[in-house]
Structure 1
C-alpha cells in the first residue's frame, strides 16, 4: 500500500528523507542554498515587469525596498504561491504567504544576505471549481459556502488569469455581509473585499489587491507569469520541455519508481514522452491542453473535443510568435520560477512537498540547483468562542477529529453522576460473559450428545446479534440524551474540523478578520510562524 510522501517527510521518516532531504532544517544546508541562489540574478526584463505590476498594488514602502533589493546582485528570494481562491480562498493561503515572509527574514538574519519574499500568482491554472468559492463557519448547521455562479466552471480550460468575476460576485459579497455584519471588524474587512472584488475585475486582480493590502507592511512582492511581457522569458523553458520531452519523462519515471519502491505514491502522473506544459491552440485566453506523442514530431491535444493534433514545428512557431499560448504544469512551474528568480527556498503545502519529491531529475536535467523545500505554517484558530465551547464540553481540540457519533457517545458517557458504560464495553461484558459460560459447557454438552454442536453455534450467533442490537440502541440513546451537547459539538466541528477536514483547508479568512481585525489577525499569524517548522500550532486570539 502506497502513501503520500509529504506526511512522512514532515515527521522525519527516513524513507522520505532519503528521497527529499529536509535541508531546510539544517543551518549549513540553508547557508549553502542561499549562497547558490545568490550567484544568480533577476533578468532586467523581469525586474521591469515586477516594478510596473507591483506599482499598481497597495502602497508599500517595504515592497519598494524589496523590488530595489531584487535588482542588486546577491539578493535571493523565498517564493510561495497559490491559486486565486475567492476572497483569498482557504486560510492556508494566508499561512503560506506569512511563512514565506518569516522564512525570508530568518535566512537573511542567518546569512547576512538580502532575502525577499515573493508570491507567485498561479494564474496559469484553469481549475475553476477549486477556486470559485469560500466557506464561512456558522453558529448552526455546517459551514456556509459562498460561491460565484459561473455556468461553465466545471468544463472551463482557460487560464484563471482571463476569468472575470462577473455580476455574481455582488451576490457573494452580500452573502458575506449578511453573515458577518455583526462582527466587530466586519466593516473594515468587507470594505477591503468590496473594493477589490468588482464584477469587471478578474479573479487574479481581486485576489492580488487584497493580499497586497494584507501584507503591505511586510513588502510581499507579487509575480504574475501571465503578463505578456514575460512570455518570451518563459519560451526557452517550454521549448526544452517539448524538444526534450522523451528524456525528461524517462528521468521522471525513474524517480516515480524510486518513490514506489520506498512505499510512496506519485503526486503527479508522468505521461510517457509528453511535454510538461500546456498549449492553447485557440489563443492566449482559450482552453489549454496537455500534449501526448501521437507520431513522429506530432502531438495530440489531450481532451480536445475534435481530437486535434499539432506538430513540433507548429509548436515551435507559436513559441516564436505568441509564447503566451504556452502554460506550465505543476512540475514545470518550479523550473520556470527558478529560471527567473534566485530562489533560495520554496514554501509549500503537503501537495507541493510531494511535487518536489519528484523534481530532482528535472532540476538536474535543466542544470539548476533545487531550492530548499520549506513546509508552510499550519495553524488551527481557537478564538474565544471556540475555547469557551471546548471548556463547557471538557474537550481537547484533537478530540474533534473523532467521528461525530463516537464523540457524542463519549460525552454522554461522561455526563452522568454515575459514569455510564460505553457501548463497546457493555457489548464486551454482556457477550463475553455469555460466551465464557458457553465455552465452559461446550465439552460436557458435546460429550452428552455430539449433535448439540450446531445448536451451540446457532445459539452463540443468535446471542451475538441480540447483544449487538441492544448495545446499538443503547449507543443511540446515549447520543440523543443531550441535544444541547450535540448542538455544541456540531458548532465546534464547523469551526475546527469543517466538513471533516482541517480548518485551514476549508474556512476562509473573512470570518476571523471580521472578528479580530484584518491586521490584528495577520499580525498574530506572522508572530506565531516558526521558520522551517511545519508543525501544527494553535492560534488563540
Structure 2
C-alpha cells in the first residue's frame, strides 16, 4: 500500500482568490484569520452543550470529550466542512472531505500552537432524498445502483426519516449478496446491523458510521436539523429575516461579479428568494420575500416578520445562508469544501459583510483515486497516463483502439461484395423480367432487399467475431475506465467506501488520515 501524488495545477482556483477573504495557499492567512476569530464573540458554552448533547450517549470517545472541553476555551478555533447524509456515508468524496478537515486541523494546531478542532456539519435539514438514498457498486465493466427503499416522498428534511431495523437489514442483506466475498465482508455488515438494532434516524445512522471511522481523531459531529442547535441559532435566524432584502441584493451582486470574472454562475435563484426554508405539515417549504411579508411560492403560506421570528425552530438554511450560519455558530478558522462549494462560496463575500462577518479561509478538499493492483496492471498494459483518465478521455481512447486494431479491409471487403452483387443482379433482373414477365420485377426487388439484409447480418457477425477476439484487451481497458472514471466522473464521485472496506479493510483510510496534509493542487493515487 503506497500513496503517490499527481500534480494537477488548479489555475482556475488561483485566479479566483479575489472572490474570497483569504488565500488558502499563504501561511499568513491562517495567522491573520486566527487573530480575527479569537477577537469575535461566540456562544461557546451553549455550543459545547449542544454538541455534548448530540454526541451522547453512543457517539462518545475520549478524543471527542477532550475536543469538547477544548472548544470551551476562547483560544480555540475549528476547521469545518459538511455534506448530505448519504447512505453508508455516500460517495467517497465525503470521506475525503472528513480526512482533509482532520489533516488541516492537525497542521494548523501544530503551526498556531493553539487548539484547532475538526468539525463535520451533517446537512440533515436537506430534503433531496434522491441524492442520499443509494450507493453504486462496480459489477463487471459497469456500475450498479443499489437504492434504499424510502417510501415517503414528502419534501421533509432527511433527519426526520426513521429507518426500521428490518428494512435496513434486508437492504444490507441484498447489498452484501451483490458484493464479492472477501475477508472484511462480515465485519462491515455486522457493524451496520449493530448500529441499526433499534429504529434510527437517517442522519443518526450516518453519524454513527462516521463516528466509528473517525472518533479517534476527535472529529466532532453536528446535525444541522438538531433541535438544540436550532435554539442556539434563533438570534441568527432573526438577523437573516430582518436583513433579508439586503442579503438578497448582496448575493445578486456577488453572482454578477462572478459572471463578470468570466465564469457562469454556480448559483441560480428565483426572484425574491429569501434563502430560507420553513417546515410546514412535515414538508420543507422555500420562502420568498414579498414586501414586508414572506410567502411560499404558491402563496399558500404567508408570514409577517414577527410571526417568522417566533417560528425560528422550524426554519432552515439553503446554500447561501448555511455558510453564514456556520460562521455565526462556530469559531471557524477554515472551511473545507469541494470544487462546486468553493465556486458558490465565491459569490458570497458581500453576503458575509451584510452581517458584519468575514468569510473564513476556504480550503479545497483533497482528491483521491484508489487503485487496485489489477487495475494498475491493466493500465500499464494499455499505456494510458493518469491525466488522460482523469480528464475523462479513456472511453474515446477505447473506441479509437477498437478502430485501429480491427483486421484491415473488412469494411472494404463488404463494400466490394455489395458492389459486385449490384453489378450482377441488376442486369440479371432486367433480363429475367423481359424474358419471363409477370411480377418478376417486384419479386426481384424484394429478393434484392433480402440479399442486402443477409449481407448486413454477415457483416455484423464478422465484427462480432472481431470484438470477441479483442474482448480480453477491451475488457481490461473498460475495467480501467470503470475503476478510475466511472459513469463519466471521477471515482470519488461514484464509488462508496464499502467496496474498498469489503476488499481491503480500513488500514488505507487511517493511512490517509495520519499522513501530512497534501498540497492543495494534487491528486493522490492510493495503490492497494
Pair in the same fold by TM > 0.5: yes
Match of 2:72 in 1: 71
Equivalent position of 2:476 in the other structure: 488
Structure 2 SS opposite 1:307: coil
Find out whether 1:407 has 2:389 as its counterpart.
no
The Cα offsets for residues 414-466 of structure 1, whole Å up to 9 and x where unpaired, read as: 799xxx89x9xxxxxxxxxxxxxxxxxxxxxxxxxxxxxxxxxxxxxxxxxxx
Distance, in Å, in 2 between the alignment partners of 1:67 and 1:215 is 15
Residues 492-511 of structure 1 aligned to structure 2 (within 5 Å): 492-511=480-499
Distance 1:60 1:118, change over 3 A: same
Once the two structures are TM-superposed, the CA of residue 179 in structure 1 deviates from its matched residue by 2.9
Aligned residue number for residue 192 of structure 2: 193
Q: Deviations over 1:302-359 (max 9, x none)?
A: 2x5x7333332321232xxxx3210011111111111111100000001210121011
Query: 8 Å contact 1:118–1:222 — kept in the other structure?
Result: yes
Structure 2 counterpart of 1:27? 27
In structure 2, relative to structure 1, the CA distance for the partners of 1:500 and 1:13 (3 Å cut) is closer
1:298 to 2:293 alignment: yes
In the superposition, the TM-score normalised over structure 1's length comes to 0.80
User: Higher relative CO (CA 8 A, sep ≥ 6), structure 1 or 2?
Assistant: 2
Instruction: Work out whether 1:212 is the aligned partner of 2:211.
Output: yes
8 Å Cα contact 2:21/2:359 also seen in 1: no
1:91-131 CA-to-partner distances (Å, cap 9, x unmatched) read: 01110000000000111111111100001111111100000
User: 1:507, CA displacement in angstroms?
Assistant: 0.7
Q: Residues 529 and 389 of structure 1: is their aligned pair in 2 closer, same or farther, counting only changes over 3 Å?
A: farther
Change (3 A) 1:80 1:14: closer
Written as runs of structure 1 = structure 2, the 5 A alignment for 1:140-159 is 140-153=140-153, 156-159=154-157
**For residues 178 and 224 of structure 1, do their structure 2 counterparts lie closer, same or farther at Cα, with a shift above 3 Å needed?**
same
Cα separation, partners in 2 of 1:361 and 1:380, compared to 1, 3 Å: same
> Aligned residue for 2:120?
119
Q: Residue 266 of structure 1 corresponds to which residue in structure 2?
A: 265
The equivalent residue for 2:425 is none
The correspondence for 2:285, drawn from 274, 284, 289, is 289
**Secondary structure of residue in 2 paired with 1:157:** coil
- State the alpha-carbon separation in 1 of the partners of residues 216 and 75 from structure 2: 23
Structure 1: gaps of 5 or more residues: 1-7, 424-471
Aligned partner of 1:105 in structure 2 is 106
The answer for unaligned runs of 5 or more in structure 2 is: 1-7, 412-459
Give SS of 1:107's match: helix
CA distance in 2, matches of 1:21, 1:480: 58
Instruction: Give 1:437's aligned residue.
Output: none
Distance 2:254 2:362 in 1: 17
State the TM-score, normalizing by the size of structure 2.
0.82
Identify the residue that residue 508 of structure 2 maps to in structure 1: 521
What residue in structure 2 maps to residue 307 of structure 1?
A: 300
| Higher-strand-fraction structure | 2
Instruction: State the Cα deviation string for residues 142-174 of structure 1 (Å, max 9, x = none).
Output: 212121112344xx3111111112454223201
1:95 has 2:96 as partner:
yes
Contact 2:21 2:358 in 1 (8 A): no
Rounded to whole Å, the distance in 2 between the matches of 1:27 and 1:37 is 16
**Contact 2:22–2:362 (Cα < 8 Å) also in 1:** yes
CA contact (8 A) 1:412 1:481 kept: no
CA spacing shift, 1:175–1:315, aligned 2, 3 Å:
same
Contact 2:97 2:337 survives alignment (8 Å): yes
Aligned pair count reads 468
Q: Secondary structure at the match of 1:72?
A: coil
- 1:427 corresponds in structure 2 to none
Q: Does 1:363 align with 2:352?
A: yes
Q: Would the aligned equivalents of 1:89 and 1:134 in 2 still touch at CA under 8 Å?
A: yes
Distance 1:173 1:162 in 2: 21
Distance 1:111 1:148 in 2: 44
**Corresponding residue SS for 1:151:** coil
**Secondary structure of the structure 2 residue equivalent to 1:299:** strand
Bigger shift: residues 35-44 or 273-282: 35-44
Question: Shift of the alpha carbon at 1:298?
Answer: 2.6
| Contact 1:37-1:343 within 8 A present in 2 as well | yes
Q: How does 1:353-432 map to 2 (within 5 A)?
A: 353-400=342-389, 401-402=392-393, 404=395, 406-410=397-401, 413=404
**Secondary structure of residue in 1 paired with 2:24:** helix
Which of 153, 161, 164 in structure 2 is aligned with 1:163?
A: 161
Deviations 1:494-539 (A, max 9, x none): 2221111110001100011111112x02113224563561422111
Equivalents in 1 of 2:209, 2:480: separation in Å? 29
Work out whether residues 412 and 482 of structure 1, in 8 Å CA contact, stay in contact via their aligned partners in 2. Answer: no
Q: How far is 1:196 from its partner?
A: 2.3
Deviates more, 1:387-396 or 1:9-18: 9-18
Query: Is 1:53 the counterpart of 2:54 in the alignment?
Result: yes
**1:22: how far off?**
5.7
Which residue of 1 is the match for residue 129 of structure 2? 128
Calculate the aligned-residue CA RMSD, in Å: 2.8
- Tell me the distance in 2 between the aligned counterparts of 1:250 and 1:300: 18
